[in-house]
């Protein structure tokens, strides 16, 4: 099983029998050139799933629907907010829309939708004997340095409710992709730390950090206290060749 960091919150999980592309909005070398358009779309022996957590432009690119012209076997699984906000010109007939607490399952994977503290949903993906979480925009978006005390408490409570909801049916995770966004200021890792405190996670992969790779790396110290390993992408298009080995190593 291979994990490719496309960009921002975009990843591809490549298993022997299937590939999952999550929150693609731009390829690794630009708008439509890189690991996805040059390689992953043409892995003809693997079933392809395209997941999108919500309709923000840094998580969703409607051009993914054009991939059906290349791969007729694509299964699209989108948050329902995309259906509600989509323009008339978008071809949505091939899309499965899911909302919080809804499940997609076939003979390859199971996708459970959880909530978000922004728009849309987050995903728990089960397949190949592994359980992997992609947070979408689920995070403690507290903005402590520019919010009122009331707004900070409200953001904290909202996040904790959604996190408790995930934890109630998720005793552990093999891997989690979660926002570590330096724009939040001094407490930018708070949501990630709370996540790791709540849900035992074997491998943590930060996302939503733009090009702030060093700031993303700062989560390593806290993760170590939680007995969680960390994989930090260092460039767009970087490939972790053996995801399972990274999860399992001591």
User: Global pTM?
Assistant: 0.96
Place of tokens 């953001």: 155
Rounded to 5°, the CA angle 41-237-179 comes to 105
The span from the CA of 58 to the CA of 42, in Å, is: 24
Contact 54, 81 (CB under 8 A): yes
Domains, the chain? 2-248 (3.60.15.10)
| b/e per residue 9-31 (b: at least 16 CB within 10 A) | bbbbbbbeebbbbbbbbbbbeee
The span from the CA of 209 to the CA of 212, in Å, is: 6
Q: Is 182 exposed, middle or buried (0-12, 13-18, 19+ CB in 10 A)?
A: middle
Secondary structure of the chain: what % helix, strand, coil (to 5)?
30, 30, 45
**Tens place of pLDDT for every residue, the chain, 250 residues?**
999 999 999 999 999 999 999 999 999 998 889 999 999 998 867 899 999 999 999 999 999 999 999 998 999 999 999 998 765 445 678 899 999 999 999 999 999 999 999 999 999 999 999 999 999 999 999 887 778 889 889 999 999 999 999 999 999 999 999 999 999 998 899 999 999 999 999 999 999 999 999 999 999 999 999 999 999 999 999 999 999 999 999 7
């Amino acid at each position: 099983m291979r994990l490719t960091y496309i960009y921002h919150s975009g990843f591809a999980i490549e298993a022997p029998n299937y590939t999952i592309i999550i929150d693609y909005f731009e390829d690794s070398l630009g708008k439509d050139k890189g690991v996805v358009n040059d390689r992953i779309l043409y892995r003809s022996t693997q079933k392809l799933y395209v997941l999108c957590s919500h309709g923000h432009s840094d998580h969703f690119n409607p051009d993914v629907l054009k991939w059906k012209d290349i791969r007729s076997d694509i299964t699209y699984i989108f948050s329902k907010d995309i259906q509600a906000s989509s323009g008339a010109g978008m071809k949505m007939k091939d899309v499965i829309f899911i909302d919080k607490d809804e499940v997609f399952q076939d003979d390859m994977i199971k996708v459970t939708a959880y909530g978000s503290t922004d728009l849309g949903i987050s995903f728990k993906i089960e397949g190949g004997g592994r359980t992997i979480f992609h947070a979408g925009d689920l995070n403690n978006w507290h903005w402590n340095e520019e919010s009122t005390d009331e707004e900070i408490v409200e953001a904290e409570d909202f996040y904790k409710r959604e996190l408790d909801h995930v934890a109630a049916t998720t005793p552990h995770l093999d891997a989690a992709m979660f926002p570590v966004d330096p724009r939040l200021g001094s407490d930018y890792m708070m949501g990630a730390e709370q996540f790791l405190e709540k849900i035992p996670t074997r491998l943590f992969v930060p996302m939503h950090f733009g090009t702030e790779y060093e700031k993303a790396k700062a989560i390593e110290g806290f993760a170590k206290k939680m007995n969680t390993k960390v994989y930090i992408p260092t460039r767009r298009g970087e490939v972790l060749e053996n995801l399972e080995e990274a999860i399992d190593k001591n």
